[in-house]
Chain A
Amino acid sequence: MSISTPGGPERRPTVVSTGKKPAAGRPAAGDKPAAKAGAGKAGGGKGTPRPGAGGKGRKPVTPVKVSQGRSWGPIALFVAVGVLAVGIIGVGAWAVYQGAQPWQKRADAINGIVNYRDKDPESLKYEKHQSGPLKYKYSPPVGGVHNDAWQNCMGDVYDAPIANEHAVHSLEHGAVWITYRPDLPQDQVEKLAGKVRGTEKMLMSPYEGLDKAISLQAWGYQLKVDNADDERIDEFIKDLRVNASVEGPTALCNQGVTATGTTPRDLGAQMPTQ
C-alpha cells in the first residue's frame, strides 16, 4: 500500500504544470486530492484531475491515467496471486488436517465420553490372562485383565447378559460392546441391534445395574447415553471400532465364547464334540 501514495504526489505536479495560473490554482488543486485520497483509492485518483481540469478547462488527464495503471497493475496481480496461493495452501492444509485427525482426537471430541486411557491407565494394565471370575473397577468394564477366551464379536447380538471376563477380551481385540438396561424398550433394542448385526468387531448384550439406559465400551473408552437415537452412538462406533484394538486390526472376533451367562467359562466347555 505504501507504493500507492507516490502515485498521488506524482500526479499533482502534472496537473498543475498544465494549468495557466500556477500560483492561484495550486492550493486549490493541492487541497482537493488530499481530501479525496483519504476517502477512496481508485475513485479518488480518477476524481482528482477532474476538478482541476473542469476549473481550468485542460485535458492532461491521459498521462495521469497511464502512470496510475503502471503501478496498480502488478500490485493487483501480485496481491491476487498471493491471496490465491495462501487460499489454496490454507484450504488444502485445513482439509488434510481435518481428514488426518487421529481417531483419539475425534473420540475425545465426543460429548460425554470418558477416556480411561488418560484418566486411569492403571486400570487397563494386566500381565497375563487369568481364568475364573475377575473384579472390575468400572461397570461395565472398559479394559484390564481378562480370561483366555474372548466373547464372539462378529456382530453378535446376545439376548442375555454375558461374562465381563470374556467381553473385556473382545474389547482388547478392537470390538465395541454395546450394553443396555434390560428394561430398554424393544424398538430401541432393535435399533441398537441394527448397528451391530453383520458387522465384525461389534457385540451387544443386556447389562444389569446400568445407571443409564445404554452404555458403550471400547478398550479404555466409555460413553453412556439415554436412548438409541443418540447420534453419539454412531460417532463412538465410527471412531473406536477396530481403532481401539490393542492388538491391531486383524485380532480375531470369532472362535470365542458364543454362550451367554455372566459366569466365565472355559472355551473347551462349549466346543463341539468331535
Chain B
Amino acid sequence: MAITEAEVRHVAMLARLALTDEQVQHLARELSSILGHIDEIKALDLAGVEPTAHAFPVRNVMRPDEVRPGLPRDLALANAPEARDGAFVIPRIVGAEEGA
C-alpha cells in the first residue's frame, strides 16, 4: 500500500516529529515498502478470532494502598534539561497577551 507524502506529514504531526522534506520523501518510500510486505496480513480471514494483547491471561494486581517513598524530587529533576524551584522549566504555554 502506497503512503503519500501528505500522509507522512499527518502521521509525523501525530507522532510529534518535526521532519525535514527529505525525511518525508524517504519515509513515504520506506513505509510504503514495509507496508507492502505487511499488507499480506490484511488478506488473512480472521473473522471470529479474538484479538490478543497479552501473551497469557493476567488479572488485576492488587496491593494495599500504603504510603511508600517514591522517587525523590531532586532525582526526578536530575536529568531535566532545565529545572528551577523544584519544577521543570518549559517555554510559555499560554499566549503572552493572556499572561498574568
Do A and B originate from a single complex? no
Residue positions of B touching A, CB distance < 8 A: none
Residue positions of A touching B, CB distance < 8 A: none
